[in-house]
Structure formats: C-alpha cells, structure tokens
Amino acid sequence: MREADRPSSLTIEDVARLADVSVSSARNYFSRPQALSAPTHARIKAAVQQTGYLPRGSLAGLSRRQLGRIGFEVPRGEDPAGNPVFNQQLLSLLWSARAAGFRLQPFVTDKEPGSRAPHYQQLWEQREVGGFIVTDLAYDDERVAYLQDTQVPFVLFGRLHEETGYCWVDTDNVAGSVMAVEHLVEQGHQRIAYLGWPASDAVADRRLEGYRLGLATAGNLPACIQVQTYGQPALEQAHDLLRRSPRPTAVIASCDEFAYDTIRAAAAVGLAVGSGPGRIAVVGCDDSAMAARTVPTLTSLRQPIQRLADRAIDLLTAKISNPRFEAHVLERPQLIVRESSSAA
C-alpha cells in the first residue's frame, strides 16, 4: 500500500500552472473535457492526479448521506442470476458495507450494449453515492476511464491491463490455475487440457496464464488449450478437446459451467469422470451452488469473495477521505477437491 497526504488548499490555478495550461483549460477538464485536445487533456489529467486536486462540488461538497452510499453496478450478463461470482460479490458487499457503516446501492444500467459511463455520471452528479465499486471489467472499460478522469472515488473488483493508478482487489487467478495444475499432477496427470473463454479480460487471461505457468513448473508438460469462440457452445469445445489425440486425461475449465459441459461431453462418449486409468478428471472454477451435490461432485476453485469485499470497502473508505490513496489487494482462491478429480 502507498498513501499520500491529503491535498490542503490546492486551487485550479495550481493545477493549471503544473500542467502549463490556461486556467480556463484546467476548468474545462472538469466541465467540458471534449473541448480539450488530447495532449492538453493528458497533461491536465497528470497534474490532477499528481496533486490530488478536487474541484469544488465534488468530495468537499458531499453530504454525509451521499458519502455513506456506495454504488455497485450489477453486471448485465444474459442471466446474471446464474453467475455464482456476481451473486457472491453483491451479497458479500452488502454485508461488508453494513459492517463498515456504509450502505451499498446496487444498480443496473442497460441490457443492451453501449456505454455505461453515463449511468455512473448521473449517480455521481445527482449525489446519490460517494463512490463506486466496479466489477465485470473489460480491458478498455469506459466506466473506469470516466471515474478516473473525473476523480470519482472507486475501487475495482478485478483489474485492467495497467495495474496501477487505481485501487483494486482481486482473486489471484494465476495462483488458482497453478493450484489446479499441481493438484492434477499429484494425481498423476501429464496431459492436462484447458477450456476457457476468449482472451478479452484479465480474468480469462490470468486463469490461462496460471495454467501455462503450472505446466511449466511441473516440468514443461504439454499445453492443450481450447478457447471458446463466441457463438460456439462450450459443450462443442469440450467435445473437441476429448477428440484430441492423445486425449487429455484432465481438463481445467475457466468456470463451473464449462466444467459441467466437459462432464457432459465425457458422458456422451462413455468416459467416466475422475482420476485414474480410462477416466477424465475435471476441475472447475467458482465453486457454484450445486458443486457439492451433483454426480460427480465438482472439484472447483472457491474465490475469497467475502474477504475481498471487506477489503474493497476498506480501500474505498480510504480513497474517499484521501483522493491520492492507492492500494491493491490480491487474495488466493481455495481449491475444493471433490469427486470429479479424485480416484474412484
């Protein structure tokens, strides 16, 4: 963690001087950023970040009620109620916020594609919330760009390409995949495949990165990667994996949905699930609600969501009181070993 002093009596003139621009340009940065050229905008942004300057009417003018509310957008996936991680994030944040004396304000934006930043802007400008916790991130997340540019306090539940310049909490997805590989190697597996999402966000990339790292560490085992393409069901991808020659003896899936798809593909070709000769071991991720009840029970990585939620609220509290505060929290998941990767 690193912290910086609170800004004392900074003025817009200080920012303009540091950025070597006119005062009216510096004002435009907050009120009409589209009026600025890209280089000018970048210079002012750097000066604002360096000084921690906040325009009047932002934090200084927040009411206690506004400061006490934290905005949290519930992801707009096709069926978010089915996503075990988003549900746990939402519920954990409700508990964490309550314990810290805050009120979480969950909200939804649009089901259609398009920028969600205006929804954040509206909540902020109408003084509904004193900051945001943001999840379901894309690398070029326009919501994060908005929050950074306007100096709204926020903490990411997840990360972008750049890992500094903002506060975040995240599951160590690299470590999770390494744990999955280690577990399978201990069970005697040498041909371990990976079934994942396309590389488009840090969760997908880090889970795959951990898989590669795990293989390398285990003695440069061969990689066997099947990455989902949009429009093709994961079930078909699982079938493709099982048709590879030589056939993998274990599959690490990037989520429990894909793990169940793999089990389904195995059943279709009469392949038993588990560790041992003639079987295929399956490891999922996210430890979804039925993982301990299905046949077979599913080995899966459980994310440390409640701990991360607690820390996210901590960081946001610090960020609200000190605009230059920055900290990062990485927590390891836990591998819950069940029948799908165990010997019969």
CA pair distance 18, 141, nearest whole angstrom: 28
Give 3-state DSSP helix, strand, coil % of the chain, rounded to 5.
45, 15, 40
Only segment of 151-159, 170-178, 293-301, 319-327 that touches a copy of itself (CB under 8 A): 293-301
Q: Does 157 bind a copy of itself (CB under 8 A)?
A: no
Residue ranges in 76-135 that form contacts with a copy of itself under rule CB under 8 A: 79-84, 87-88, 90-92, 94-95, 98, 103-108, 128
CB 109 within 8 A of CB 97: no
Q: How far is the CB of 59 from a copy of itself (least distance, A)?
A: 21
Cis? peptide before 246, omega within 30° of 0: yes
CB neighbour list of residue 58: distance below 8 Å, 6 or more residues apart: 150, 151, 152
Q: Is 29 one of the binding residues for a copy of itself (CB under 8 A)?
A: no
Q: Counting contacts by CB under 8 A, is residue 261 touching a copy of itself?
A: yes
Of residues 62-81, which lie at the interface with a copy of itself (CB under 8 A)? 74, 79-81
In this chain, which stretch among 135-143, 161-169, 196-204, 292-300 interacts with a copy of itself, using CB under 8 A?
292-300
User: What is the rounded CA–CA span in Å between residue 30 and residue 40?
Assistant: 13
| Strand-pair partners of 194 | 225, 252
Contact between 294 and a copy of itself (CB under 8 A)?
Answer: yes
Cβ nearer to a copy of itself, comparing 170 with 256? 256
* Amino acid occupying residue 6: R
The DSSP letter of residue 60 is: G
**Angle CA 2–46–152, to nearest 5:** 70
The interface with a copy of itself within residues 239-258 (CB under 8 A) comprises 256-257
The least CB distance from residue 295 to a copy of itself, in Å, is 5
35 versus 267: smaller Cβ distance to a copy of itself: 267
Q: Is 264 in the site for a copy of itself (CB under 8 A)?
A: yes
The answer to whether 248 and 314 are in contact (CB under 8 A) is: no
Q: Which parts of this chain interact with a copy of itself (CB under 8 A)?
A: 74, 79-84, 87-88, 90-92, 94-95, 98, 103-108, 128, 256-257, 260-261, 263-264, 267, 288-290, 293-295
